[in-house]
Amino acid sequence: MAKKKFPLAHVYRLLEPGPVVLVTTAHAGRTNIMAMSWHMMIDFEPPIVGCVVSDRSHTFGILRKTKECVINIPTVDMVKKVVGIGSTSGRSVDKFKRFALTPGAASYVKAPLIEECYANLECTLIDTRGAARYNLFILKVHKAWVRPLGKIVRTIHHCGRGRFRVDGSMITVPSTIK
Amino acid sequence: MAKKKFPLAHVYRLLEPGPVVLVTTAHAGRTNIMAMSWHMMIDFEPPIVGCVVSDRSHTFGILRKTKECVINIPTVDMVKKVVGIGSTSGRSVDKFKRFALTPGAASYVKAPLIEECYANLECTLIDTRGAARYNLFILKVHKAWVRPLGKIVRTIHHCGRGRFRVDGSMITVPSTIK
């Protein structure tokens, strides 16, 4: 699955539609994966991303310690693995093994890419001032990778209680409508 | 279009999938509408929402001054109006008039509801500490309204350059998969 480097100025097109993402971290020889829906773009280039990581999650402590992660974007064919990842804790489960996912080497951070995901964003943690009150972290994207286009990519959007909206049709509306 | 009060604990189901929303404000006898995609849930109940409002937008100043707004969620049938709203400035355009939208009275804030939108969240601004550096605002939802269910609701997700993903099918995956 050869991926192409993706322009940082276009990263917003990956996250702006609100897909469920998988956040990977690495610390002390172990990796972890967390499912996340509470994220948003904050700036275009360099891409800055805001996200909420529960202080009860295993990822919370690792992210604060290592100050880096990868945001991996899964497609609908991975939905069962996404739910499994969101229903287990990295404290007791090696999620790459349990869910048969392939860790790949990132180029800027030590956290692994999930090879099966259609896009991967290598991030560092640049601001934790909202962490104590809101579990709010601010990330900077340094490298972005995406599977070459050509195939329709359908991401999933969590709607609560295990329900997901799958991407439907793409429509284009020119901004000349005023 | 009679709407029902929507439980605050379920507001995340409206915003978590990442739809484009329309933010309304009111100040000095004038209303305004802004299209927004950069938002995320921060907490469940009371629902706390993070969002980015450009400091070049007309809404930025009004939001800081009045400390309140409504987040209105449009459906795909409104996409041309959404693009028009995103392509014009409230400095020179009365957007309710220009786009033939109906302002409704909110019950907690002075900003108007957009009646045509399928859901409306009445918000106050509770934290601006991220505003100077990131244009980041933190809102608290006090009242939520939603059109009675029964009809399939399709929201839109901005993918850049006037392209939008329309909601596709809904799938359910029980969290017992581990």
pLDDT of B23 > 60? The answer is: yes
pLDDT of residue B138: 98
- Give pLDDT, residue B75: 96
Neighbours of B172 (CB within 10 A): 11
Residue B141 lies in a domain: yes
> Which pLDDT does position B96 carry in this prediction?
98
Tell whether A8 is within 8 A of chain B (Cβ): no
Contact call for residues B119 and B145 (beta carbons, < 8 A): yes
Residue A106 domain-assigned (yes or no): yes
Question: What is the value of pTM for the model shown?
Answer: 0.94
Terminal-residue alpha carbon distance, chain A:
42
Residue B139 CA to residue B123 CA, distance in Å, equals 6
Residue of chain B minimizing CA distance to A137 = B42
B178 assigned to some structural domain: no
pLDDT at residue B149 in the model: 65
| Contact residues on chain B for A9, CB-CB shorter than 8 A | none
Q: Does A172 map to a domain?
A: no
Q: Which of A92, A159, A161, A170 to mutate to test the interface with B (most CBs of B within 10 A)?
A: A159
Which range of residues forms the domain containing residue B9?
Answer: 4-166
CA dist B110 and B117 (Å) reads 17
Segment B39-60 shows an average pLDDT of 96
Check B136 against A83: CB less than 8 A apart.
no
Mean pLDDT of chain B: 93
Q: Number of structural domains, chain A?
A: 1
One-letter amino acid of A113:
L
Identify the pLDDT of residue B1.
52
* Chain A from 48 to 107: CB within 8 A of any B CB: 48, 50-52, 76, 79-80, 82-84, 86-88, 98
Return the SS3 of B178. Answer: coil
- Residues of chain B contacting residue A10, judged by C-beta atoms under 8 Å apart: 160
Angstrom distance (rounded) from CA B4 to CA A36: 29
Whether the ipTM is more than 0.85: the answer is yes
The pLDDT, as a whole number, for residue B13 is 79
User: DSSP states of B81-125 as a string?
Assistant: HHHHHHTS-TTT--HHHHTT--EE--SSSSSPEETTSSEEEEEEE
Residues 9-38 in B contacting A (C-alpha not used; CB under 8 Å): 10, 12-13, 16-19, 37-38
- The pLDDT tens digits for B139-178 are 999 999 988 766 778 999 999 888 999 999 999 998 775 5
Read off the pLDDT of residues B89-101 as tens digits, 9 standing for 90 and up: 999 999 999 999 9
Contacts of B157 in chain A (CB under 8 A): 16-18, 157, 167
CB < 8 Å to B166, chain A = 168-171
Amino acid B11: pLDDT:
82
> Quick check: helix, strand or coil at residue A126?
strand
Query: For chain A, what is the radius of gyration of the CA atoms?
Result: 16
The reported pLDDT for the residue numbered B8 is 83
Which segments of chain A have a pLDDT < 70? 1, 149-150, 177-178
For the residues B102-107, what does the mean pLDDT come to? 96
| In-domain check, residue A175 | no
User: Residue A177: its pLDDT value, please?
Assistant: 58
Residue A40 lies in a domain: yes
At residue A153, the pLDDT reads: 87
Q: Find the helix or strand (DSSP H, E) in which A2 lies.
A: none
Given this model, what pLDDT does residue A16 score?
83
pLDDT at B174: 85
pLDDT of residue A149: 64
Residue B171 belongs to a domain: no
A130/B134 touch (CB, cutoff 8 Å), yes or no:
no
Question: Is A173 among the domain residues?
Answer: no
For residue A90, give the CATH number of its domain.
Answer: 2.30.110.10
